[in-house]
Structure formats: structure tokens, C-alpha cells
Amino acid sequence: MAKTGFCDSMPLLDLHKKTTEERRAPLRAWSNASGPKERWHPQEGEEQPRGVQQKTEPERRWVRRLPVSTEDGIIMGFHENESSSYSDGYKEDEAVLLYLHGLQGLHSLQTLVPGLLRHEMELAMEKLGLIYDRSYAWDVFSDMMRSQLRFTFPNADLPRPFTDTTRAILVDWLIQVHGVFHFSEETLYLSVHLLNRSLRQIKVNTANLQLLGVVCLFLAAKKEECLLPEVSELCFLMENSYSKRQLLRMERRVLTELKFEVSHSSPLHFLLLSASIAHCSTKVVWMARYLLELSLLEGQCVVFLAAQLAGAALCLARRILQEPPTPERETAWCIASSIHMGSEATLLKIMHIQAGAAARAQSRDTCATFLKFSTGETMHVSNHLALQSAPSLLSLTATHT
Amino acid sequence: MAQECGFQYEPVAEIGGGAYGTVYKARHVESGQFVALKSVRVQTDQDGLPISTVREVALLKRLEQFDHPNVVKLMDVCATFRTDQETKVTLVFEHVDQDLKTYLEKAPAPGLPPSRICDLMRQLLCGLAFLHSNRVVHRDLKPENILVTSRGQVKLADFGLARIYSCHMALTPVVVTLWYRPPEVLLQSTYATPVDIWSTGCIFAEMFRRKPLFCGDSEVDQLGKIFNVIGLPPEEEWPADVTLLRHNFSPISPRPITDYVPEINDLGAELLLEMLTFDPLRRISALNALEHPYFQEDEVTNG
């Protein structure tokens, strides 16, 4: 029940069909055929009272009170001038990160980081298998923070004729294909990252859009996976609308145009690191992963940095689940929050997008992520009732700023 | 786009017929700038470009963005798709005229002044710490692939290439020197970043000696030469699951390192021994080596 039968969704994937009519019609058909309603089973005991917004107040206080300040912008100093508007907040983030970008030879930097945070970071990185040697933990993290600035998009505009909707349909399909191959989550994030760049850098027509998407997934798999799908399998998934030769040619084209730069800082790494430092419950982590994956479908999210998307997903997940605070957990959250993932204004902006996406998720045509996170394996997070009212949860707290 | 490499650069000279294929010095037609071109021919099978090429080149590109002063600059990567079966990947690096080997050979009679050696070592370790913090192990560090610019700046070269090449080249017998290899590589045990520290230690000694420290002509001979200096390690440090056993070597106790590197000062000798530690887990890391008093002492005397 976890995976949408692949053949069910095939009509949707016919992006290469000649006329727009042909392309649109099956889309409706598919959403009717495997609509999420029948798959949506609210879990017993997950009922959340709706009016719990006031509870989020203490959390806001945690965000900025830790009195640590180093020369490194990663650690949050005192940002008390937070009354600024959204755009100011974003600029401030950029300034901090750009400053960080300018630093070289950061090896002495780790001495400036509070020992407790450093220790937690080392443990978290080790747990995620990101380091061989603990003494490099902080450097690896600094590099992650800097690398995420490497490919940023000034705006969310897509070259014509593509729209956020076409992009979302393609990403949704890639999520399904990704599920079919049981690839790692990193591969999915990398695929969409490559797609975002390719869409803006390579001229493709609508007929080749699906091919481009598959090639991005294929390249991401080459970067991240041990077992690769056969090219013929990929062609089969596209109903053999393209030949193997066409696929391999597209691969060369994408690699050449992207100049082999197929690495990125995955928002998932930031999420898992923060969650691990914050000692978040498994359910919070699944919820945050769900919200983060939903942002892959949101065209407007491409302008945000990986750490910001992850930070927002984690904050929102905590607000939605409203787990009773324990001193231990709050302290851990406090330590995790001292890592500068983004200004409050930026995080809030992203949380709004994610909350909106989560509220609409089950009624959309592009519901692969919703289905994926409705399984027992993922603790049924996408079925959580509070998600439907997630946007209002935020708008109330937003008025306090 | 794919064809650009050929047109943009004109070859000037062949600069290395190294183990990993031919390297050309070339000139960028527009700017007149010199570059080093290294090409690998990759078999493109029915799965397209091989995974290893995609990964290694992506890694080099990722490191490039940090623009580290002690790492050679990768200016461009070109993929020329010759046929459906073969792809030529050309890496375009900045060209630096001399390597550490020539630099040491050209140094006038008594050798490099100690302060110069200290500075070169610090730069070398900075570059290495950078690679290691990015989870890159050089694996083939030797004076030939440490470049020294005319202004005395150290730049590590050819990192990661060892892996790119080894994956794709069915080469005629590859001659790779054993002299800078650490015991765990010679014993074919597992290895990671400490590999490079061992090689750096060998190079450190060589800067004073102006000739290599351990010149073995086989794996066993190389290990014997190493144990002559550092002594035969105790049984408990000997790696498990290796074919060469400890009792294949005669028991020998360590000799003072200053017998081999007489010009080195006390702190330098201390650091050198920490780099030439048999057990990779106990060998000093690049980051910690940079914190060693040997480097602070130099600051005091020079500052």
C-alpha cells in the first residue's frame, strides 16, 4: 500500500505527448483512480486538540537565548534586532554565511566553539557516518555550511514553458521512481537539486522534460548508490518513449553543462544533524523529513538554503507534534538552536510554505510524498490531524513577532 | 561545449609520462596562461559514464570551490565524447613550474634553511588538513606531486587522481614508488587519512636529508628499512588478517631519528616521530600536527 502502483501513474507521466490536452486529461484520471482519500487512515490516539497554539510560546524563547557568540557565523550570537522584516532577515542570513564563506583554513575555529556543542556535533556526525575522525567534525560542518551557498537561485522563475506545476508533476513522479528503486534519501534530494539546476541551464523542450528528470535521478544514483538501475529499466519506466541512446546522450549533456558539479549540501544532512543534536523523538524526525520532502515539490523553495529548509522543517515538526517538553529535551534543543540555520523571519517564511504544502498534500494530484509518509514505517506522520490546520497554527504565532 | 578543451588550449610540451598517463603543459589560447592537462580515457559502456568517474570528478569540483591556497587549482573539466564507447575526460589544472623534488635539488649546498622547511611543512599540513576534513585521502603523496610556486607557496596536486586513474587504466606495468608508503599500506591492511601523514613524515625528513628516508625496492624490503629506524612494533600493534607476519622480521629496537636526520631540531624530531608512528590510530593527524610546538617555536624565532 505504500507505493502507488507504477503503472497506475503512467498516464500522468506522459509529458512528452504532443498536445496539452492529452497531457492534462490523464492527470485528472489518475488522481481519481488512486486518490489519497481511500489511503488516508487517521491514527487512533493522534487526535490533537486544535487550540494548542499558545503552547508554542516557550519554544520561541529557546531559539535565541543561548549566550554563545564566536567569530564564526555558524553559532548564533545575539540577534536581538529581530523586529526586521522578512527580507531583512534573509539578507542578514546571507551576510553571516557570506562572511563565513570568506574564511579560510578554519582549523583553529573549533577552539571557538563551545565544547558541549562541539561534542554533540561530533557525535551526530559520527552517527550519520559523515566523518572518519572526530577532530574534523567542525570543519566538515563548516564546509557543509559553505557548500550550500554554491548553487543558489536568485529567484524561483523557471524558463518557459515550464511552470511550478509541471515541475511538481515531474518531481512527484521522480519520488515514485526513486521509491521503486529503494534508493537512499540523499539520492532524491540530489536528483531534485540537479533538476533545479539543469532546468535553468539546459534548454529542453516539454517532450524531453521527463528524460531530463530521469537523467538527473540516474546521475544522482551514480553519485550516491551502490546498485544502479539498468538504463533499459529507466527507459521502460518511461514506456520506452526514449531510447537508451537518447538517455545516455542526455546524461553527457547534463554532466557537461553542469561541469561535473554533482555534489551538494543535502538539506537532509542538516536536518538529521540538528535533530540528532536536539535529541528529537523519532516521530519529530519523521514529521520533519515529511515536511522537508514536501518542500521539494514547492517551486518557491529553491531560493532557500539547505540549512534553512531543514531548520524550518524541524521547527514546524515540533510545533505540529507538540510533544510535552522535558528539561533534557529542551536543553538539547537549546544547544541545537545555537547553530545558525537561518534568521527567524526566513525560517517562518519557509514554515508557512511547508505548512501550506502539508495542509494541501492529501488532496493534490502530486501526492507521492503524502503516501510515502503515511505508512507504518514512517509512523503515519502525513496523516497527522494537526497538519490540516498547520498554516493557522503558524499565522497565530507569527503575530507575536 | 564538450569539444571546447581541444580548441581552448594548445599543447606546449609533454611534462610527465607518469604512472597515470601523459600530462601536457598547454597554453590557454585566449589568456596565454599556462595550464597542465591531464586526460583519462574512460570506457563508456551501456550504463553511460562510469560511477567512479562521476564521483571522483565531482569530488575534485567540490574541493575546488573552497579555493584552498595549498591545493592546486582545478580550472576546468572537459568531457570529450569521442564515440559512444569512449569518453576522454580532461582535467585542466593551473600549471606550477616546479615540484618539491626539483625544489630540493635546486637548493644550494647546505640545503634548505630550517625556517624554510618549517614553512613548507606548515603549508603542506594545511593543504592536507583541508583534504582530510573533506574526506579526501591523497594516497600517493610524494615530492613529485607537491608543487612549489616561485613565491614558495606549496600546492598539493594529483589528489584523488590516483583513484580516477586506477579505476580506468589498464596500464602497462605501473611504477609507483614504495618509498612514501606507510606500513599499513605495505601490509595491505585497511587505511585512511593517516596514510598521508606517514608520507608527509617521510617528506619532512627528506627536506633535511635531500634524499629519501626509506628507499626500499620491494614491500618487504621497504618494511625492513622502516623498522630499522622506528624499531619492530610490538605484537599487539601488528594488524590482524595480514599475510606478512611480525616474526618474518627480525626484532630490532628503534634508533634515534637524529641518526638519520641530524639537522633536525628537538621539536622537529618529536613531530617527525609522531608522524612516523607505526599504528595509524596513534599517528598524529594533520590538524594536531599544525598545533605542534615545532610550528610555534618557528613563529617565535622568526617573528
Question: What is the predicted pLDDT for the residue at B162?
Answer: 55
pLDDT-based confidence at B23, cuts 50/70/90? Answer: confident
- Strands B146-148 and B98-99 come out as antiparallel
Cβ neighbour number for residue A153 with a 10 Å cutoff: 13
Give the model confidence (pLDDT) of A281-315 as tens digits.
999 999 999 999 999 999 999 999 999 999 999 99
Residues A259 and A269 in one domain: no
Residues 251-280 of A with CB under 8 A from B: 251-252, 255-257, 259-263
Q: What range does the domain containing A240 cover?
A: 156-264
Residues A318 and A356 in one domain: yes
A240: left (phi over 0), alpha (psi -120 to 50) or beta: left
CATH architecture of B4-94: 2-Layer Sandwich (3.30)
pLDDT of B233 above 80:
yes
Spatial separation of the C-alpha atoms in residues B38 and B165, rounded to whole Å = 10
In a domain, A221, yes or no: yes
Q: Closest Cα of chain B to A174: distance in Å? A: 19
Residues A144 and A181 in one domain: no
pLDDT of A55 above 80:
no
Residues A93 and A124 in one domain: yes
**Domain covering B98-298 in this structure, CATH number:** 1.10.510.10
pLDDT of B15 above 90:
no
Which residue among the candidates B119, B140, B158, B196 is catalytic per the annotation?
Answer: B140
Residues A252 and A271 in one domain: no
Which residue in chain B has the smallest CA separation from A251?
B48
DSSP string, B75-87: EEEEEEE-SSSEE
Which residue in chain A has the smallest CA separation from B128?
A105
In a domain, A27, yes or no: no
Question: What is the predicted pLDDT for the residue at A24?
Answer: 32
Fold equal for B4-94 and B98-298: no
In chain B, the DSSP E strands lie at 9-16, 23-28, 34-43, 74-81, 86-94, 98-99, 146-148, 154-156
Residues A101 and A222 in one domain: no
Question: What is the predicted pLDDT for the residue at A118?
Answer: 86
Give the model confidence (pLDDT) of B247-292 as tens digits.
999 999 999 999 999 999 999 999 999 999 999 989 999 999 999 9
Q: Give the CATH number of the domain where residue A185 resides.
A: 1.10.472.10
- 8 Å CB contact of A140 and B192: no
Backbone angles phi, psi at A364, to 5 degrees: -85, 165
In a domain, A301, yes or no: yes
Contacts of B51 in chain A (CB under 8 A): 222-223, 228
Residues A319 and A189 in one domain: no
In this prediction, does ipTM exceed 0.90? no
In a domain, A259, yes or no: yes
Q: Which three cell numbers stand for residue B10?
A: 594548445
CB-nearest to A262 from B1, B54, B192 is B54
Contacts of B280 in chain A (CB under 8 A): none
Cβ of residue A147 closer than 8 Å to a chain B Cβ = yes
> Which residue, of A264, A295, A321, is where some domain finishes?
A264
Residues A257 and A270 in one domain: no
Q: Closest Cα of chain A to B48: distance in Å? A: 6
Q: Closest Cα of chain B to A207: distance in Å? A: 22
Give the model confidence (pLDDT) of B30-85 as tens digits.
889 999 988 877 777 788 888 877 887 888 888 888 889 999 998 888 888 777 77
Residues in chain B: 303
Contacts of A218 in chain B (CB under 8 A): 48
How many contacts, defined by CB atoms under 8 Å, are there between A and B?
Answer: 98
In a domain, A19, yes or no: no
Residues A376 and A271 in one domain: yes
Please confirm, yes or no, whether B140 is among the known catalytic residues: yes
Q: What percent of chain B has pLDDT over 90?
A: 48
- 8 Å CB contact of A136 and B46: no
**What total of structural domains would you count in chain A?**
2
Q: Residues near A81 by Cβ (< 8 Å), separated by ≥ 6?
A: none
Give the model confidence (pLDDT) of A189-240 as tens digits.
999 999 999 999 999 999 999 999 999 999 999 998 988 999 999 999 999 9
Q: Closest Cα of chain A to B165: distance in Å? A: 17
Q: ∠ CA(B62), CA(A369), CA(A55), 5° rounding? A: 95
In a domain, A44, yes or no: no
> Which residue, of A233, A264, A295, is where some domain finishes?
A264
Residues A273 and A169 in one domain: no
Tell me: is residue B211 an annotated ligand-binding position.
no
Provide the greatest CA pair distance for chain B: 62
Residues A195 and A257 in one domain: yes
Which residue in chain B has the smallest CA separation from A103?
B66
Residues A145 and A226 in one domain: no
- 8 Å CB contact of A107 and B287: yes
Residues 84-143 of B with CB under 8 A from A: 84, 87, 126, 129-130, 132-135
Q: What are the sequence ranges of the domains in chain B?
A: 4-94, 98-298
> Which residue, of A203, A231, A264, is where some domain finishes?
A264
